[in-house]
Structure 1
Amino acid sequence: MRNKKVAVTGGLGFIGSHLVERLCQENEVVIVDNETTGSIKNIKHLDFSNISLDLGDITEIDLVNSFEGCDYVFHHAAMASVPASVADPIQCNLVNITGTLKVLLAARDSGVKKVVFASSAAVYGDNTNLPLSESTPLKPVSPYALSKAVGEMYCQLFADIYELPTIALRYFNVFGPRQDPNSQYASVIPHFISRILKGERPVIFGDGEQSRDFIYVKHIVEANLRACLSDFTGAYNIATGKRTTINQLVPVINQTLGRNMDPIYNEPRAGDIKHSLADVSKSEVLNFKPSINFADELGETVQWFVKNSCR
């Protein structure tokens, strides 16, 4: 993609900032972010000549003005934590459902060509019929998961009723540089890296045999670009189709850091699912089939944390 104007909601966040980093090289990028979980430090290394900031909450600011002249919108702004959504379902509903509706309305009214919606594998819930395909019935088990399922439905509704092309990307477990390890609800990989770097034992909720389909953030960026420029709509799994247990992460991170920290096991968290694995055959129509070297990608992530002293 080049010579376009695009908006990235949540563009100061973990995934959003990587998307901005790629897009701003050859396009004009508008970032919409309220800095709740995102940070300007995530893009401080970029050339701002092609970047403009519209700081504010998607539920409050004038998104039509934000999206003026934009060809595409990448919607990543969200309450992106299962435990946080369980603790505050009303706020989750406001940000993830009402916020998504406002993004879609503004995109429609601004003449945007397509909206790419960041959804989640959480919409499948604790479904044991693995691998999970896009035809698998949705079974959300947390307010976060429910909000993403509703967001997908709104995307399809706007495509059907208002002829606004939309595509929903169901991310599985994304990891990579710039994930926040200091959040109360930090994702497992940055949590493990941060604690081991500090000489502390990583905390595993449950027995550690729960498994995830981990995907590196650079592949997520590539999937967004391919989905945006395609003629396809609907929902697509964005994952590797490979499963890793939480217990398997600890020795790899220990080895990379030259440490030997045994994990602490705590009670499982409410709303967390046991296993997750994607059927990625449908996403191949997007010409998206990432080459995966999990150990190397995890190593790159660890080295970023070491270099940036996220301790």
Structure 2
Amino acid sequence: MPAEASAGTAPTLRHPLDRPLRVLVTGGAGFIGSAVCRVLARRPGTEIVALDDFSSSDPANLSGVPATLIEGSVLDEPLLAQSMAGVDAVVHLAAIASVQESLDRPLEVHRVNVTGTLTVLEAARAAGLVHTVIASSSSVYGSGPELPKHEGLRPRTESPYGATKLAAESYALTWQRSYGLPVLAFRFFNVFGPRQNAGAAYPAVVPAFLERTLDGGAVTIFGTGEQSRDFTYVESVAEVIADAVVRRVAHDEPVDLGFGVRTSLLELVHELATALGRPIDIEFAPARTGDILHSQAEGRRLAELFPGLRPIPLAEGLRATIEWMHGEGER
């Protein structure tokens, strides 16, 4: 059974502001960042500032979104301070989000993911204890046998990427305890959806599979295909983050942002074949270093903090992603 929450870990709900919010989203032109900006833009009066260096994103992702877009890095302290001026909340999503890239370039990934987070935390503190939501990762759990994963488990990182995310969330929660900075650290579980980059050097599994199948090719599975993930549609993630910002939710411990549905890669291929209405060929390759065998969120803490949450099911999210990818091909 999951460990019970220890004393002092109750969430903090600051009073919602009685005026429109101004929100800074780092990595705002990225896959998840642009989805967060789109959801925030639906809330009347919300002002959005998106900071992005475009190293793994595209300004076109914010097409039609009423956001102020600033080009630059979270490692640029003066620019970050300027971007933070007058904001009510910051959603920190800027990162190098690749296990393989962390294995190839551990020092650079540490610099962006850890030093970058620390720079954001210090800027938020200097700007008047700005409410800060940060992205951690389910990779902090490693491949331990216990399922589902929950926040009471001891972390066991197995890649430099996982280590950077554990360090980043630890800094954020420490800044809350040391300086009173209101923080919410989400551990993401395999987010997928429109605007995810299939052309990256190390693409995530869903866009990689979709690009191959839409081209009529076979998908490549590293390992047996029995490895499983808690696939989470990006719109569901963005809705949770936007709600956290609006209600100013903070917590003394990390929060898993996954919904407890575990799908193997073989099952994912079946779901894609169903959505496309045709079979998909599979090619198998050796398992990759640092890949986690199974991942699934318990989701109890998330449900307690966001009781009205209604996540979009995998099949629906895959259909929406396929429709978007078809639309991309027509432009």
TM class, shorter-chain normalised? over 0.9
Residues 194 and 310 in structure 1, CA contact (< 8 A), matched pair in contact too: no
1:303 aligns with 2:323: yes
Give 1:251's aligned amino acid: H
Deviation at 1:54, TM superposition (A): 1.6
**Equivalent residue number for residue 253 of structure 1:** 272
Deviation at 1:145, TM superposition (A): 0.5
Moved over 6 A (4+): none
Residues 240 and 290 in structure 1, CA contact (< 8 A), matched pair in contact too: no
**Equivalent residue number for residue 239 of structure 1:** 258
Question: Can you give the 5+ residue segments of structure 2 that lack an aligned partner in the other structure?
Answer: 1-15
Distance of 1:286 and 1:81 partners within structure 2: 28
Give 1:172's aligned amino acid: F
1:42 aligns with 2:61: yes
1:278 aligns with 2:294: no
Deviation at 1:283, TM superposition (A): 1.1
Residues 92 and 132 in structure 2, CA contact (< 8 A), matched pair in contact too: yes
Give 1:57's aligned amino acid: S
Distance of 2:167 and 2:33 partners within structure 1: 21
**Equivalent residue number for residue 13 of structure 1:** 30
Distance of 1:237 and 1:298 partners within structure 2: 22
Deviation at 1:225, TM superposition (A): 2.2
Q: TM-score, normalised by structure 1?
A: 0.95
For these two proteins, the number of residue pairs brought into alignment is 308
Secondary structure of the residue aligned to 1:308 is: helix
Secondary structure of the residue aligned to 1:103 is: helix
Residues 240 and 292 in structure 1, CA contact (< 8 A), matched pair in contact too: no
**Equivalent residue number for residue 13 of structure 2:** none
Deviates more, 1:143-152 or 1:248-257: 248-257
Distance of 1:310 and 1:144 partners within structure 2: 35
Deviation at 1:309, TM superposition (A): 1.4
**Equivalent residue number for residue 32 of structure 1:** 51
Please show how residues 111-130 of structure 1 align to structure 2 within 5 Å. 111-130=128-147
Give 2:250's aligned amino acid: F
1:268 aligns with 2:287: yes
Residues 261 and 296 in structure 2, CA contact (< 8 A), matched pair in contact too: yes
**Equivalent residue number for residue 56 of structure 1:** 72
Give 2:75's aligned amino acid: T
Please show how residues 1-311 of structure 1 align to structure 2 within 5 Å. 3-25=20-42, 26=44, 27-46=46-65, 48=66, 51-62=67-78, 63-228=80-245, 229-233=247-251, 234-288=253-307, 289-309=309-329
Deviations 1:127-161 (A, max 9, x none): 11111110100011111100110111101111011
Question: Can you give the 5+ residue segments of structure 1 that lack an aligned partner in the other structure?
Answer: none
Deviation at 1:66, TM superposition (A): 0.9
Deviations 1:74-120 (A, max 9, x none): 00000101111111000011000000000000010011431000111
Deviations 1:226-259 (A, max 9, x none): 3332443121011111110001111221232233
